Structure 1
C-alpha cells in the first residue's frame, strides 16, 4: 500500500495524487466523489482522509454529482436608485467570502426582475439557495419565496416575516440608540436626515425602521424631533440642511442615516458657521471606516456588513442541510462615541 505521507509537489493537488496517497485507483476516487458506484465504507473513509490530508478540492462538477447540488448560491441585489454602492459591496463581499468557506460560488443577480426573476433563478439546478437584499416592508417577492423549493435568506426584515429567514442590523434599535446618545448629552431638539426620498417611496425596510426607532425614542424621552429624507448630492444636502436649521434654530443634534450625504452635511454645517460639536452634535449610522475618515471623527453606529453577510450564508447552508433555523436574527447596534458629539453648550 502506498505511503500516507502528504505528496510533496508544487501546484494543484490532483485526483491522481489522492489515489496514490490512499492506495487506490483514480477511478475509485472518482466513484467516491461522484457516488456513481458503491464503494466500501473503509475505502471511502480512506479516500476522504487523503483528501483532507492533501487539501484536495474536488471539481465543482464532481461535488455536485455526489451531493445533487450545484455548489452555487444566488445573491439577489437589484441595483436601484438611492442605493449606496460602497456599503452594498461590503455586504456582497461578505456573502462571497463566507460562501467560499463552504466551497460555494455566488451568482450575483442585479436586475430588478421581482418575483419572476426569483422563479427564473431558482428553476432547475442553477443554484442551491438564494440570499436577497434591498428588502421592502411589503416586498412583492415574499409570497414567491414561500412557494420556492429552494431555501432562501433575506438580508432585511419585511413587515410580514412569517415563514421566512431574515438577518439584519436592528435598525429600529439603531435609530433609538442615536437619540438616546444625544439625549444623554443634554440635547433637547434633534433631527434625522434619512435615506433619499426614493428609498422611502420604495418602502425599503431599513429606512423605515430607522426612522421609526428615531421617532419612538424621541417621544419616549420627551425630545422635540424632526425626520426627513436626505438626498445624496452636495447641492441638495446644502439646501435641505439650510432650510431645516432655518425652520428650527434651536436644533442641536443631528442623526444622519445616509452614507453618501455624511461629508456634505459636515461641509454644509461649516459653511453655515455651525461648529461640530460645539453648536451641533452629529451622529451617523454608517461604516466605521467612513466615521473615522471624517473631520471631526463621527460618533456612529456601525453597519455590520461582514457579520450580517456571514450569518446570512451560515443560515442558508443550515437550511440546505434541513436544519432548523430562527425566523429572524437581528444584530444589536453598538454606538461608538467620537469627537462629533458633545454635551450641549
Structure 2
C-alpha cells in the first residue's frame, strides 16, 4: 500500500495526501476527512524513515509516564492510552519514557532527537524537569500544573475546584464536621500537584464555610486506613462527612465505617475523588468527583502538535493553560445528616 493508492482512492493528488499527513500546509476540512477515511480504510502507514528525512521531524511524541508505587496506575495508563490514540489520528507515534531518571533522562531524550515534542505527566509543584526542558528548547506540554505555569502549555483537571466541590456537597447535606483522607505522606512530600491542589481547595472552602475539618494521610492499606480513621474519630468524634482522595483506601474505609456502626450513608457520608468506573464498583455506589482522562490526552496532544508546527514555521509557540472542570455525580454514599449521628 502506497501514498499513490490513497490519493487515487480519495481523488486527490499525492501531495495533498502528504499535506494531510504532515500538516505542512492547510487542507480543507472536507478533503482532510476524505483522505483520513481512505488512510484508515486502506491501512496505509507512512514509512517512518522516509517521512523523517523529508520533513526533518520524527513524527514521534515522547510521553513521560510515572514509574512509582504510590500512584494509581490504571488512571495513568488510561491517560496514556488516550494520548496514544489521539496522536495516531494526527499521524504521530508515541514513545513511552519513564520518569525515574528525572532531569537527566529528559536531557538524554532531547539529545537523541527521537521525539519532536514531549508530554510530561505526574507534574510536581516545583518540578525540576521543567527548567531542564526550557534549557533544551524542547516543545513540551504538561499534564499537570506546576507552581509557576508562565511560559508553559499545561492541561489538567481543576483539582482545587474538585476539593471545593466536595465540601459544597457535604455542606448542602448539613454536614458540619468533615475529614479529608488523602494519599500517603510521600506524595505530599514530593508536592504532587494533584494531591496538593485538591487538599488546598478542600481546606479553603471548608474555612470559608466555617466547617470543622481534619486531614489525614493514608498509604491505602487496611492498616493505614484504620489508623487514619481512628485518628479522625479520636480527635473529632462528630465527623460525619469523609472526602477520600486515595483509590486504595476506599474499600477499607467503607468496611471500617460499617464495623464501627457508622453505616453509609445513614450515619456517615463518603465522597470519592476517583474514576467513574471505580465509584460504581462499591456497595453502596460512591458519590464521586471525576474528570475526563480522554480530554486530558486529547488536549495535551493537540497542544504539543500546535507547538511543534509553530516551531517548524519559525514562530514562537503559543502558551496555553487549560483546566478541566470537575464533575460531581451523586450516588448512594452521601446523604443528609441525621440527628442520631454519633457525636
Alpha-carbon distance change, 127 to 267 in structure 1, aligned in 2, over 3 angstroms: same
Deviation at 1:289, TM superposition (A): 0.4
Q: Which residue of 2 aligns with 1:182?
A: 170
Query: Does 2:113 align with 1:120?
Result: no
Alpha-carbon distance change, 174 to 16 in structure 1, aligned in 2, over 3 angstroms: closer
Structure 2 counterpart of 1:330, from 310, 314, 323: 323
Q: Aligned equivalents of 2:278 and 2:33: distance in 1?
A: 46
Q: Which residue of 1 aligns with 2:28?
A: none
* Alignment map for 1:31-180 (pairs within 5 Å): 54-55=38-39, 56-180=44-168
Alpha-carbon distance change, 16 to 98 in structure 1, aligned in 2, over 3 angstroms: closer
Q: Aligned equivalents of 2:257 and 2:77: distance in 1?
A: 29
Alpha-carbon distance change, 218 to 87 in structure 1, aligned in 2, over 3 angstroms: same
The worse-fitting range, judged by mean Cα deviation, of 54-63 and 281-290 is 54-63
Q: Which residue of 1 aligns with 2:195?
A: 207
The worse-fitting range, judged by mean Cα deviation, of 306-315 and 59-68 is 59-68
Q: Which residue of 2 aligns with 1:295?
A: 283
Alpha-carbon distance change, 15 to 329 in structure 1, aligned in 2, over 3 angstroms: closer
1:75-125 alpha-carbon deviations (Å, 9 max, x no partner) = 111312311111111111111111111111111111411111111111242
CA contact (8 A) 2:151 2:319 kept: no
Question: What's the C-alpha RMSD, in Å, of the aligned pairs?
Answer: 2.6
Deviation at 1:71, TM superposition (A): 1.1
CA contact (8 A) 1:81 1:198 kept: no
Structure 1 residues without counterparts, runs of 5 or longer: 1-12, 35-47
CA contact (8 A) 1:190 1:251 kept: yes
CA contact (8 A) 1:194 1:257 kept: yes
Structure 2 counterpart of 1:256, from 244, 262, 279: 244
Alpha-carbon distance change, 33 to 278 in structure 1, aligned in 2, over 3 angstroms: closer
Structure 2 residues without counterparts, runs of 5 or longer: 20-31, 339-343
Q: Which residue of 1 aligns with 2:212?
A: 224
Query: Does 2:312 align with 1:319?
Result: no
User: In structure 2, the residue corresponding to 1:154 is in which secondary structure?
Assistant: strand
Q: Which residue of 1 aligns with 2:22?
A: none
Q: Aligned equivalents of 2:144 and 2:244: distance in 1?
A: 20
CA contact (8 A) 2:176 2:211 kept: yes
Structure 2 counterpart of 1:344, from 321, 334, 337: 337
Aligned length: 317
Q: Aligned equivalents of 1:225 and 1:19: distance in 2?
A: 64
CA contact (8 A) 1:269 1:275 kept: yes
User: In structure 2, the residue corresponding to 1:141 is in which secondary structure?
Assistant: helix
Over alpha carbons, which structure has the higher Rg? 1
Deviation at 1:242, TM superposition (A): 2.4
Deviation at 1:63, TM superposition (A): 2.2
Alpha-carbon distance change, 115 to 50 in structure 1, aligned in 2, over 3 angstroms: same
Alpha-carbon distance change, 50 to 184 in structure 1, aligned in 2, over 3 angstroms: closer
User: In structure 1, the residue corresponding to 2:238 is in which secondary structure?
Assistant: coil
Q: Aligned equivalents of 1:289 and 1:228: distance in 2?
A: 25
- TM-score, structure 2 length as denominator? 0.86
Q: Aligned equivalents of 2:142 and 2:222: distance in 1?
A: 32
Q: Aligned equivalents of 1:334 and 1:320: distance in 2?
A: 32
Q: Aligned equivalents of 1:329 and 1:188: distance in 2?
A: 33
CA contact (8 A) 1:33 1:63 kept: no
